Copies of this chain bind each other. A is one copy, B any other.
């Protein structure tokens, strides 16, 4: 069992999704790993790591829209009986900052994925996305850590 630690950087372009599946598979292959786990941590509190559909682009559009309407800018309606309107107290870093922290809390900062024969195990319709929640262009850094085997001598149960 060997380890490798690195960081991968991605430029995002405002709210939305960057498919990072290929970059992760390339990282595994370029470092000669065959099987193991690739542990991912987004090093930011205003973007997420998520797995979702890779086919119809409207899925990602609807996801983004839903999240925006669930966690709006400036203020939001409570779902309590009274439906009071609540304002964010943390607004100094822009109207998209506090919603971005909440969206991060409602999704994932950390994914631990399995790979075999140099490829992350995913379903046919799945891709791994870096989900940007801020409005402007950002450079985002993902911690990438592999624990695995470089040879293929493992027992594969079918």
Interface residue ranges, A against B (CB under 8 Å): 1-6, 31, 35-37, 39, 41-45, 50-53, 56, 58-59, 61-63, 65-67, 69-81, 83-86, 88-90, 92, 98, 101-102, 104-114, 116, 121-126, 141, 143, 145, 147-149, 154-158
Contacts and interface: CB of A to CB of B under 8 A. Distances in A.
Where chain A touches its partner, the secondary structure class is mixed
A3 B105 contact: no
B114 A141 contact: no
Nearest to A51: B109
Given A61-B89, A63-B105, 13 more contacts: A3-B35, A5-B114, A5-B156, A37-B39, A37-B112, A41-B122, A43-B126, A52-B104, A56-B90, A59-B90, A65-B86, A77-B83, A121-B143
What is the count of identical protomers in the complex?
A: 3
B81 A50 contact: no
A107 B122 CA distance: 17
B45 A126 contact: yes
Nearest to A104: B52
